[in-house]
Structure 1
């Protein structure tokens, strides 16, 4: 990670008013770069994933992860500047990937907090590659106790419980974090859980069904394996071994 960031726009003019405004408001001093990618050899695009330290002093709960894309028109010597804030790195990575950044170049390294378990890694990978599957409804970031962020979304592919909460909890001592997904029938139910927290985060129904299917498959496999083993019985014990003969009226082999 670093704070050394520049887009080399001295010879370019903004292509529109929005790009001009964002470029004028942009200050690298608040940013800690988590990942970046600049296309080569012509340098037409730059993609940056960063933590914005100034968000800590702004509106309470505001997102602190910033995704930035700069596209340069090398023929017209103009540029477009886009930027978006996210509560979670995975959502910011999704934003960059959707705009053409190679997924592997959005990966965070260095001293940033690491996923605490495989489930966190799987949930984040799904978010990164989900395209426009999740509509973000709201989010909240807390960098004090408890250290957590949540993102309230609507899953466009979910047949049941389409409102999803992605809860990220950090542990500075590790330093690691977990990401979990909760499913709710509607937005009111999700917000009530976020305010209350008196029960575990409800698992998505498809996750429960998948876990049940795995257990059923494992049970059937064990059952099939057991039934394939010959059972020892009285007939098996009295049968002579191969290559032996028995004396009539005798239980001994010769």
Structure 2
């Protein structure tokens, strides 16, 4: 697998021109050498599209707390010899995947896989990731933060348009490097101020969403049970996307690219 994305090789754009000013600007500022591809999907069934999820190593040395996942979507118009290019940064893989899914990528084809990835610690983590990945326009992301060492965690602050109660949600992800696992949990708050207060002091457990305990809770529990059954039977809950897992690439002295879930 190529650790850095090369447009001429992976995206086959050497004979195409940007279709608009935004794509031209994205092309000019894009630097593939800092990227480690985590998964990708290419399609020609309805046009010609490429979807890539990657970890940007350079972010580690940038502004503290910046998101390290980059989602890349390319659409080619071969009849006009043009392409459009979009990129978007996210704190967690599941939100990056959601962005790609909204642009036409099948959710099962962009999942993170491979023996070098940190694994979900439990079935609830898998359920929350799937919920985000397939959320469509449900979540409005308000803020994110990434810490890639002590503690190794990220959080995404979002507004849930489908929530009847406590619509402000915190998706908190943290890693146990010794165990090679990570957990992702969803917390619910009445407003942004309450969510930020919890993130500042962590004085109690992350408040569980109301729907976990109301009539929708049965749906949540049923989905987790199905995930548990599939995992116990040896079936992957995140089907392989078409890339081999990347080898470990340290982000620098004392740091690890945990956002890319590399050990």
Superposition TM-score tier, normalisation by shorter sequence: 0.7 to 0.9
Q: Is the 8 A contact 1:70 1:80 kept in 2?
A: yes
By relative contact order (CA 8 Å, sep 6+), the higher-ranking structure is: 2
Q: Cα 1:170–1:2, aligned 2, differ >3 Å: closer, same or farther?
A: farther
- Counterpart-to-counterpart distance in 1, 2:16 and 2:199: 46
Q: Which runs of 4+ in 1 moved over 4 A?
A: 210-214
Corresponding residue for residue 152 of structure 2: 147
Rounded to whole Å, the distance in 2 between the matches of 1:14 and 1:152 is 34
Say if 2:107 is the partner of 1:103: yes
Q: Does 1:209 align with 2:217?
A: no
Match of 1:69 in 2: 73
For residues 36-90 of structure 1, the C-alpha deviation after alignment (integer angstroms, 9 at most, x for no partner) is: 0111479711100001111111111000000000111101001100000000100
CA RMSD of aligned residues (A): 1.8
Per-residue CA deviations over 1:67-125 (Å, capped at 9, x if unaligned) read 00011110100110000000010000101111011111111112121111000000000
Alignment pair present for 1:124 and 2:125: no
Contact 1:2 1:34 in 2 (8 A): no
Q: Does 1:83 align with 2:84?
A: no
Aligned equivalent of 1:49: 53
Of residues 92-101 and 37-46 in structure 1, the stretch that sits farther from structure 2 once superposed is: 37-46
User: 1:64 and 1:212, CA in 2 relative to 1: closer, same or farther beyond 3 A?
Assistant: closer
Equivalent position of 2:179 in the other structure: 174
* Distance in 2 (alpha carbons) for counterparts of 1:180 and 1:59: 25
- The C-alpha deviation readout for 1:12-39, integer Å capped at 9, x for no partner, is 0111111111111112111111100111
Larger radius of gyration: 1
CA 1:27–1:186: 2 relative to 1, 3 Å: same
Quote the residue 2:3 is aligned against: 3
Q: TM-score, normalised by structure 1?
A: 0.80
Question: How many corresponding residue pairs?
Answer: 214
Residues 1:33 and 1:213: Cα distance change in structure 2 (over 3 Å): closer
TM-score (norm 2): 0.78
* Cα distance change of structure 1 residues 211 and 98 upon mapping to structure 2, 3 Å threshold: closer
**Residues in 1 aligned to 2:47 and 2:38: alpha-carbon distance in whole angstroms:** 20
